[in-house]
Amino acid sequence: MTWGLVLGLALGAYAFKFTGLVVIGSRQLPAPVERCLGLVPAALLTALVVKDTFSSGDALVLDARAAGVLVAVIAAWRRAPFVVVVIFAAATTAAIRQLS
Amino acid sequence: MATALTGADRRTVLLASLALGVAVGVFGVVFGVGAVSAGGSVAQACVMSLLVFTGASQFSVVSVVASGGSTGAALGGAMLLAARNTVYALALSRVVTGSLLQRLVAAHLTIDESTAMATAQPGAPAKRYAFWVTGATVFVCWNVATLIGALAGSAIDPERYGLDAAFPAGFVAMVAPHLRHRQGLAAGAVAAVICLTLIPFTPVGVPILCAAAAVLIGVLRSDDPTELQPMAGALDAEIAAGGNSFLGPNQRDERDLGSAL
């Protein structure tokens, strides 16, 4: 991790917030643009889940993480609080590693 | 709608924001541990939480860096995730008014939690109060927790405690509300397929960036724009009842945000 990355992201993240609150204010963006922006978390977070669960470097793998994430998916689907989702997943993965 | 704020209103908001703060704190500790395990220093973890202050982006940086991705790939994915704060800030600009300095500070505190708490309140004064209280509470909790996690980080073996699964699990919890409507689910599914397909063939981090192309599904007209509204109502009730879901804020469609404010 580099300082350039940390500070670059800080600048960029603030620029997005600043743009919305101070620059554009209450002006409306075109509806298709707003819909695409609204889908960013769905697309990116799902991709991150897939990557963190099934990859190690550039290899696709299936290990104890998958069981933990499966538990997380079930818990999240049943609307468990965030903390519960994370703790169940970590505990499941840790337990499988202990046993194997 | 110009509802005066009573003491009871303030207490309700304070309690809900404290509950959110505790949940965010747990996540902050996980972030601190992860940032240090990914090769960051304690100072880098803390500066990131202080200055970036948007959890999903910070986690995505750590996730990409931990698996050996380039700085560009880490930054690109994180910036795409940070872009949604523009939409939140746009919606908030109608209630968070004041001097330029106040709005500059407000911009920094514009995140999922503060936006959701603000939109859950009935009138403009209550929205403004909830925004500032929640923003400040979450800011303090997130940063203190990051420091604790970063200091503990080097002493903890992430795999032993399953913390490598805690990351994707955290993302699962964050993304779940976004997948409860059809377009979100479609975007998530396309992104997952793109990502899995590219992992063996492209440098680390690139699959995440390419997966972002799935948002172009949004160009299509949403076939049923009302399908999310019951969700948003349920979320408001949940937050009013104590906000036990750190991730609840994501449950609202950004277009709802605009109209709710």
- The answer to whether residue B216 sits within a structural domain is no
- The answer to whether residue B194 sits within a structural domain is no
> Is it the case that residue A70 has pLDDT exceeding 80?
yes
pLDDT in tens, B118-135: 877 788 899 899 999 999
Alpha carbon distance B8, A63 (integer Å): 50
Name residue, tokens 């509204």. Answer: B229
CB contact under 8 A, B78 and A9: yes
- pLDDT score for B256: 41
- The answer to whether residue B69 sits within a structural domain is yes
Q: What is the largest CA-CA distance in chain A?
A: 57
Number of domains in chain B: 1
Alpha carbon distance B165, A46 (integer Å): 14
CB contact under 8 A, A44 and B81: yes
Nearest CA of chain A to the CA of B199: how many Å? 5
Average pLDDT of the residues in B156-179: 82
How far from B129 is each of B4, B10, B13, B175, B181, CA to CA, in Å? 11, 8, 8, 28, 30
CB contact under 8 A, A58 and B77: no
**Residue B85 in contact with residue B110, Cβ under 8 Å?**
yes
Query: Residue A9: in which H helix or E strand, if any?
Result: helix A3-18
- The answer to whether residue B236 sits within a structural domain is yes
Q: Which domain holds residue B175?
A: 7-180+228-260
In this structure, the number of other CB atoms found within 10 A of the CB of residue A69 comes to 25
- The answer to whether residue B119 sits within a structural domain is yes
pLDDT in tens, B10-57: 888 888 788 778 878 888 998 999 999 999 999 999 999 999 999 889
Contacts of A73 in chain B (CB under 8 A): 172
Lowest mean pLDDT among A51-60, B40-49, B93-102, B248-257: B248-257
Q: Which amino acid is at B135?
A: G
Q: Place A64 in a pLDDT band, splitting at 50, 70 and 90.
A: very high
| Tokens matching residue A25 | 């204010």
pLDDT in tens, A23-41: 887 667 788 887 887 788 7
Interface predicted TM-score of the whole assembly (ipTM), two decimals: 0.87
- The answer to whether residue B79 sits within a structural domain is yes
Q: Pairing between strand A59-60 and A55-56? A: antiparallel
Contacts of A78 in chain B (CB under 8 A): none
Q: Write down the domain spans for chain A.
A: 30-99
**Residue B63 in contact with residue B167, Cβ under 8 Å?**
yes
Alpha carbon distance B80, B57 (integer Å): 8
Nearest CA of chain A to the CA of B174: how many Å? 8
Instruction: Name residues whose C-beta falls within 8 Å of residue A70's C-beta, 6 or more positions apart in sequence.
Output: none
- The answer to whether residue B192 sits within a structural domain is no
CB contact under 8 A, A32 and B39: no
- Report the first-to-last Cα separation within chain B, whole angstroms: 11
Q: Place B244 in a pLDDT band, splitting at 50, 70 and 90.
A: very low
CB contact under 8 A, A69 and B246: no
Contacts of A40 in chain B (CB under 8 A): 80-81, 83-84, 212, 215
- The answer to whether residue B202 sits within a structural domain is no
